[in-house]
Amino acid sequence: MCLGDDPTCAAFAEHRLRYRRDMEPERRAFLKSGFVATGGAAALAAGGLSLVSPALAQSSGSRLTQTAHYHLPANAETVHWGYFSKSLKPQVEIASGDFVTIETLTHHANDDAERMVTGDPGAESVFLWTKEKKGVARRGAGPEDSKLGPGGGLGVHICTGPVAIRGAEPGDVLEVRILDVAPRACANPKFKGRTFGSNAAAWWGYHYNDMLGGKKREVVTIYEVDSSGERDWAKAVYSFPWPGVTDPDGRDHPTIDYPGLPVDHTRTKRSFDVLKGIRVPIRPHFGTMGVAPAEAEMVNSIPPSYTGGNIDNWRIGKGATMYYPVAVPGALFSVGDPHASQGDSELCGTAIECSLTGTFQFILHKKADLAGTSLEALDFPMIETSEDWVLSGFSYPNYLKDLGADAQNAIFQKSSIDLAMRDAFRKMRQFLMQAKGLTEDEAISLMSVAVDFGITQVVDGNWGVHAIVKKAIFSERPA
């Protein structure tokens, strides 16, 4: 169903107007000091506990005037495929407090183009690939003359953006509230009312070198999601072993080694008898979301880092708030890698990769206002939900800086869960001491008895461990 975010809808203008009218009370509410002083919707849901203190919220809110709501579609002109860059031209420039509805496309849509591309003008423009023309030529941060194609597939995610935040400067913190996440309905009349996604058990998966019988194989499973959002589970439709692909430029791809490869289903052996009777809980979220790093001109979208990116944590969904340290002027926020669902670890290589549309609100917290607040020392991406604070640890906190000139290659050889766990521990210790005023000994004890550490992902080059602490723990502690 169009919520004012589907420009292909025949009634788009009417739905858009209705959506803007529905959002108006929330816009007005944000400008009221009572809402600003609590740090926003997340704080209200948690009884006032938020990373944004009342004083910081007041300072940041004092800069807001009339907010605006923008719509950023996903098409060949608005996406960048497989990389972040501090030099990308913004698709839209906004002020702090503004709302943006952003469409995102899964880079795995061509695993079943009939269900995920056909009839969708935005997706068709992005995935267009013939001998004569390629809708988005560069796919990755690699060289233009790569034998696999421009960009070399050194980065795979279709990112929409960037969004520039007016006045954002290095040292500031960008707060991104995820107000809504909706599935992108299939545009093919044959599958009306449904949304589809793809899970690839691929060569980069944790399982690949440990398969029973030593028989390595890549297997793709297509899932169906209810596009109305009424059904909170997905079901498998069919699976197929990767058949090998010859792309329109004549290159052979025996494995999934370049994003957006068009699968020819006349060559696949599809099994419709797969995962029968199993309902997969839906956790719509964005696997890749963040701001541009400063250390390199063009950065592979696969390894996450201190500015966010491919964190692949299913908690980055509706109702969550993200905090990012700003590294470049304008921040340059992009979002992509949409997922219908994923478990912690993303073990086989991907989640259910499924196109989604998100509505976000952006709040800029200036460096001058951060002293003495919970965000003062923030140098990593942090998740806040109504109940939890979630810190993201990586094998290398800032791999672009930590690993030197060859960082974008070296990171894929050096990651480990042990290193990611160490980083998550250090970040949680810092958070508990700096934001909550605990001593080191208190922080260490609390981490062992009340903080949950989990494996975020083991497939993104820079492996992740997250640390979760419940807000309720601090309900009786003075702010």
Amino acid at 408: Q
Is the pLDDT at 354 greater than 50? The verdict is yes
| Residue whose pair of structure tokens reads 């926003």 in the numeric block | 40
What is the mean pLDDT of the segment spanning 241-260? 97
State whether residue 62 is helix, strand or coil. Answer: coil
> Do residues 205 and 461 lie in contact, with contact meaning Cβ atoms separated by under 8 Å?
no
Maximum Cα–Cα distance across the chain: 66
Give the pLDDT of residue 40.
47
pLDDT digits (tens, 9 = 90+) for 178-218: 999 999 999 999 999 899 999 999 999 999 999 999 899 99
> Do residues 396 and 403 lie in contact, with contact meaning Cβ atoms separated by under 8 Å?
yes
> Do residues 232 and 181 lie in contact, with contact meaning Cβ atoms separated by under 8 Å?
no
Rounded to whole angstroms, the Cα distance separating 138 from 91 reads 17
Length of the chain: 479
How far is CA 10 from each of CA 2, 16, 78, 102, 312, rounded to the nearest angstrom? 9, 11, 22, 19, 34
What is the secondary structure of 376-391 as a DSSP string?
Answer: TT--S-EEE-SSEEEE
- Residue 8: which pLDDT band, with cuts at 50, 70 and 90? low
What is the mean pLDDT of the segment spanning 77-100? 98
How far is CA 385 from each of CA 39, 77, 406, rounded to the nearest angstrom? 13, 33, 36
CA 356, distance to chain mean position in Å, is 11
Residue 146: closest CA among 301, 251, 227: 251
Residue 360: closest CA among 225, 197, 231, 182: 182
Tokens of 189: 């009349």
Rounded to whole angstroms, the Cα distance separating 28 from 255 reads 52
- Residue 177: which pLDDT band, with cuts at 50, 70 and 90? very high
Give the pLDDT of residue 16.
52
Name which residue leads in pLDDT, 418 or 42.
418
Residues 6+ apart with CB under 8 A from 376: 370, 434
Tokens of 56: 């910081």
Residue 227: closest CA among 48, 66, 79, 357: 357
Rounded to whole angstroms, the Cα distance separating 341 from 53 reads 32
Q: Global pTM?
A: 0.91
